[in-house]
Structure 1
């Protein structure tokens, strides 16, 4: 009996086993297109394509530990005993055997290391049961379950939370294989959506396809239709305009680029333009915050407006935290009607513009009402003037006062008007900025709100109307700045208008056709040190009427056609210039007219100073090369110097104001007048004047005679009784 039971149990076990085996075979056969891929990255080989849909021959696949930059091995055999080189170099078909041992982060590039995939996705190999499913493109709606078990939606629902791949094949037999979504669908993060070259997602109007998992499609058109595509956070690191059909072929792709932009904004990924020249414009709306628009580099990625009459990249009010970098923006044949800009924004805050080349617009960059703007490594040239505030390489303004403006490491060259225009900005900060051969100014900063500024390590050369102009700014600083204006006529290097209580250190003004440094319009209380003004056509430094309280120390002034330092206004009403003393060498400190007699202190001087006083009563009209005397009456006209030195300053005062004509006075060495220190009184009612030069410019040796000559023209007359006037003059010497 026991043997019978044992035999029956054996038969029963055998029957059950056969039934289960057959059931398993039936289950496997009935499953929709499964493909085991636990060891291989893809099956039967890893494959990659270039932007034209061709095999990525000699492409490179780098592998890393997830979440790190540490290399991780891949393998050429399923047992994972033979490691591949890192990177794996693909064959002429863009293929390679790649086995993964656990989660692996991958970076795919072409043969020149231009990135195809960003290293943001982790793939799984041995130890993971990853399957792929292949929907039927002939289904009318991939977002619905047709009952045939072969749509994207069916596979998404079937997969559930398993890690899987949906592969959209190009098998229609024609140029494209469209997969149509008439109904919204979401691809979850555990599913990789992979498209073969030629496969395309056609999204109908009103439908949205959301892709939360990894997306692999190459650089070719992937999306079509009027519907919406959205990527979940982290599903892709870059959104490529090529996926919507943007190509560097001269066709205006603005609409397609706008769809790509919308998808990038929603995903938080960068909108990335690979190398090429694209014809398009991009308009960013108020809800397009945090977008990065990026190219491969300034040389190889170009967005060209051509015949597009709109701004190439524009930011609407409230569009904040936008970054634009690594590309060129050009207007090779577009409209220049006065309102055509390369980058335009109004009331968009916290923008970053870097590593850009821009040319050919009315304003290459035009920013209004901004708050916190960073511009770095920008080359802006060839802006075209049309009307109003145009023709500038960079124009930034704010209706009240913008804060946090930073411009660094940038060049503005050959623009019709000014290289850099900054208006009404609070605390603009410029560092390592160069402005060359612009048609107006190199750099123009207009505060208007009495704001501060910081300018360092900048240069402006050969700009038509002047080097650097600063207006209405207070409590700022400028250091290590070089200016020259060899083009044009009477062009200054640095012009300060109503600039107050600011410091200027290490400023060099060379070969300007006007003044090297010009202080005008009540620029007061400024401090200048370590200044070099050399070979300028007019004065090295010219301090205009109404400018007072400015101090100059450590100034080098050589070869200027007029004086090293000149003060235009010396009337008794003008607040004092205090001369703290001429330092040794070609250096100068500030001077002041305190009264009819110019007072020069001796603090800081190297050598012995001496003041010589001359007099002349009844200055007659029509006098040439006449002399002052060393006493109030007739007598000697010269002093004999006991040792060598130089004349450093002179002043003249009249006992009454003139009514007509002019008076010229000069010091004379051994009877020869020296025009370096010539003074003129020809304005009514001026009674006083003075000027100065640097030590060494008007030299004398021991035994030389120092005198004073004067000229009056035929119209010379004063308001005094009988038309006569008396004069007193001072000459300051410094002995070696």
Structure 2
């Protein structure tokens, strides 16, 4: 049985040019088996179960005017699953171009981008340079992804605030003279930083923009206004980055911030001053001019700062370089962890800063000028009550301001220098500094404190595990002059080796005017290879010297007792042991000058001592020297 189709004639154009002619098709019909044909000339498909299925051998749709809904058409995936075209297209992300953006770097794409961000929770900018020409905020609870080859340019005077999670490759994705802010994670490479070995490109602008971009990303007073993510982080890549100006880091008053690198060794991130560097410190943590506005902590981890010959950079890492009148402290301790500083006149400087921890840091001089170099300097110097350093902890660290074996090349080098001075008594000072499990190598002096002109140094503790080793002259040296004060210095469980000739391992001196030094506690320390004085105390009151072991060098000077008390009062020296390396090396264990008073020296023993345990030149009856023992051999 056959049924005639309504369409009887369809023009057919043959492709062969030489035989081109118009032919009429036979009448259309549906055959008994369901085939839809035009005679035997053309088969279009099949009629089956009430459905018409068109299956031409070849279907070619020509011209842009072709229309029709094909969304329900299906295709089979390689896995054998049938998918509609609409379903498959839904898997593809919308792009700015789908919203009308051109992203050619010149047309204004602001509205199209904002529409895309409003419409989707995850946005992909796949290609082109999209231009932001108006102040724009992309809200939180969104994900913005920048694909390889895509970027964003922001017009001058305009700000793009990104509260969303932001993800981009390790290359430049931001350009233009405008501002980007609100990021919880920022990478200097996103602004064009270059870290290839041997490059001379100035990456300071990129580093500065990366840090500044993390501002306002947190609002503790209104968490709903904070950006997605944890604390703000600036991530330094692996490479060698030149900075021709200081990288200024200003801790926030609303949130902590972290600057994080990939490591501090050769495979890590190295920051270097340019040969034409201008400024003070290569990395500067700046203070604020209001003491009543505490900043949140800043954390610096896992990178290095390396000086280059002739750069002119004075300091590698500077805390509060503005000094007096500026403040840098917060409710939690800032942390510098696994950061290494190389070859600067002053490796690290801390001014008017509080609540700070240094953990596994190193300040080392391998190259350049070694004379007068300082590993770390703490300065409380300036107008009254505007310059203080306090609550600083140094642990598991190294200070090597002169790593050579020639003392002539290490003149005036110092591992850690504390300075305090002011115009009014009892105002400016360095206080509450703890040093533990830290090594001082190579320097002329290890830990030095200088209080002058009313300055105060208080509560300094060198804890067990601290070590002094090398060619040092004065390993611990504190002095108070004028009307200054040094109070409460504690050395416990510290290891000392090999002082140079004519040098003193510990020196505590209060001299001139009404200076004061009191509360000195030296206990259970080891002195190895001491060639002259192990301890010299002048003008000290309230001194405890107990449980120390002093091993003299074979070349020790024969005219000195290892420990001397001059103009000292209210002191005790008990339970100490002296072992000279050869017989009769030293004349006494202790020497007391006539100006000393109120002291007791007892239960000390010495070997290799010529004359006796104590030389007491004081006529004060308050000096007691019972039960000490010494022997030549």
Q: Same fold (TM over 0.5)?
A: yes
Which of 238, 241, 247 is the equivalent residue of 2:188? 241
Cα pair 2:349 2:377 within 8 Å, conserved: yes
After superposition, the CA RMSD in angstroms is 3.7
Which of 567, 570, 573 is the equivalent residue of 1:546? 567
1:348 maps to 328
Cα pair 1:142 1:153 within 8 Å, conserved: no
1:394 maps to 376
2:258 maps to 292
The yes-or-no answer on 1:427 pairing with 2:427 is: no
1:309 maps to 278
Taking the aligned partners of 2:163 and 2:598, their CA distance within structure 1 comes to: 74
In structure 2, relative to structure 1, the CA distance for the partners of 1:596 and 1:253 (3 Å cut) is: closer
In structure 2, relative to structure 1, the CA distance for the partners of 1:309 and 1:512 (3 Å cut) is: farther
Give the alignment's TM-score, normalised by structure 2: 0.66
Taking the aligned partners of 2:69 and 2:320, their CA distance within structure 1 comes to: 61
Taking the aligned partners of 2:143 and 2:598, their CA distance within structure 1 comes to: 79
Cα pair 2:532 2:562 within 8 Å, conserved: no
Which of 488, 491, 506 is the equivalent residue of 1:475? 488
The alignment of Structure 1 onto Structure 2 pairs a total of residues equal to: 468
In structure 2, relative to structure 1, the CA distance for the partners of 1:200 and 1:144 (3 Å cut) is: closer
- Per-residue CA deviation, residues 133-177 of structure 1 (Å, 9 max, x unaligned), is 1123525545544xxxxx2123234x1xxx53322223xxxxxx2
Cα pair 1:363 1:394 within 8 Å, conserved: yes
1:510 maps to 528
Taking the aligned partners of 1:314 and 1:334, their CA distance within structure 2 comes to: 20
Which of 145, 148, 171 is the equivalent residue of 1:197? 148
In structure 2, relative to structure 1, the CA distance for the partners of 1:422 and 1:598 (3 Å cut) is: closer
Give the alignment's TM-score, normalised by structure 1: 0.57
How far did residue 273 of structure 1 move? 0.7
Equivalences for residues 494-643 of structure 1 within 5 A: 494-498=506-510, 499-520=517-538, 522-536=539-553, 537-538=556-557, 539=560, 541-559=562-580, 561-570=585-594, 574-582=596-604, 595=619, 605=627
Taking the aligned partners of 2:623 and 2:154, their CA distance within structure 1 comes to: 86
Taking the aligned partners of 2:603 and 2:366, their CA distance within structure 1 comes to: 47
2:45 maps to none
- Per-residue CA deviation, residues 637-675 of structure 1 (Å, 9 max, x unaligned), is xxxxxxxxxxx7xxxxxxxxxxxxxxxxxxxxxxxxxxx
How far did residue 230 of structure 1 move? 2.2
Cα pair 2:95 2:125 within 8 Å, conserved: yes
The yes-or-no answer on 1:258 pairing with 2:258 is: no
Cα pair 1:422 1:445 within 8 Å, conserved: yes
Cα pair 2:348 2:377 within 8 Å, conserved: yes
Cα pair 2:593 2:618 within 8 Å, conserved: no
How far did residue 364 of structure 1 move? 0.9
Cα pair 2:473 2:505 within 8 Å, conserved: no
Cα pair 1:527 1:551 within 8 Å, conserved: yes
How far did residue 362 of structure 1 move? 1.9
In structure 2, relative to structure 1, the CA distance for the partners of 1:585 and 1:156 (3 Å cut) is: same
Tell me, what secondary structure is at the counterpart of 1:493? strand
Taking the aligned partners of 2:367 and 2:486, their CA distance within structure 1 comes to: 28
2:46 maps to none
The yes-or-no answer on 1:412 pairing with 2:419 is: no
- Per-residue CA deviation, residues 281-331 of structure 1 (Å, 9 max, x unaligned), is 411247587321110111111111142233211122226522211111111
How far did residue 404 of structure 1 move? 0.8
The yes-or-no answer on 1:695 pairing with 2:630 is: yes
Taking the aligned partners of 1:414 and 1:77, their CA distance within structure 2 comes to: 70
Taking the aligned partners of 2:414 and 2:176, their CA distance within structure 1 comes to: 45
Equivalences for residues 208-223 of structure 1 within 5 A: 208-223=159-174
Equivalences for residues 41-440 of structure 1 within 5 A: 132-136=93-97, 138=102, 140-145=106-111, 151-157=112-118, 159=119, 163-170=120-127, 177-231=128-182, 236=184, 238-249=185-196, 250=199, 251-267=201-217, 268-280=231-243, 281-285=246-250, 290-299=256-265, 300-307=268-275, 308-310=277-279, 311-318=281-288, 321-336=297-312, 339-346=314-321, 347-350=327-330, 351-382=334-365, 391-399=373-381, 400-415=387-402, 417-423=413-419, 424-438=429-443, 440=444
Tell me, what secondary structure is at the counterpart of 1:154? helix
Q: Which 5+ residue runs of structure 1 have no aligned equivalent?
A: 1-24, 30-43, 46-75, 79-125, 146-150, 171-176, 606-647, 649-693, 699-736
Taking the aligned partners of 2:348 and 2:285, their CA distance within structure 1 comes to: 12
In structure 2, relative to structure 1, the CA distance for the partners of 1:210 and 1:478 (3 Å cut) is: same
In structure 2, relative to structure 1, the CA distance for the partners of 1:384 and 1:523 (3 Å cut) is: farther
Which of 452, 456, 467 is the equivalent residue of 1:449? 456
- Per-residue CA deviation, residues 464-491 of structure 1 (Å, 9 max, x unaligned), is 432111335323321011223444x311
Taking the aligned partners of 2:172 and 2:478, their CA distance within structure 1 comes to: 51
Taking the aligned partners of 1:494 and 1:27, their CA distance within structure 2 comes to: 92
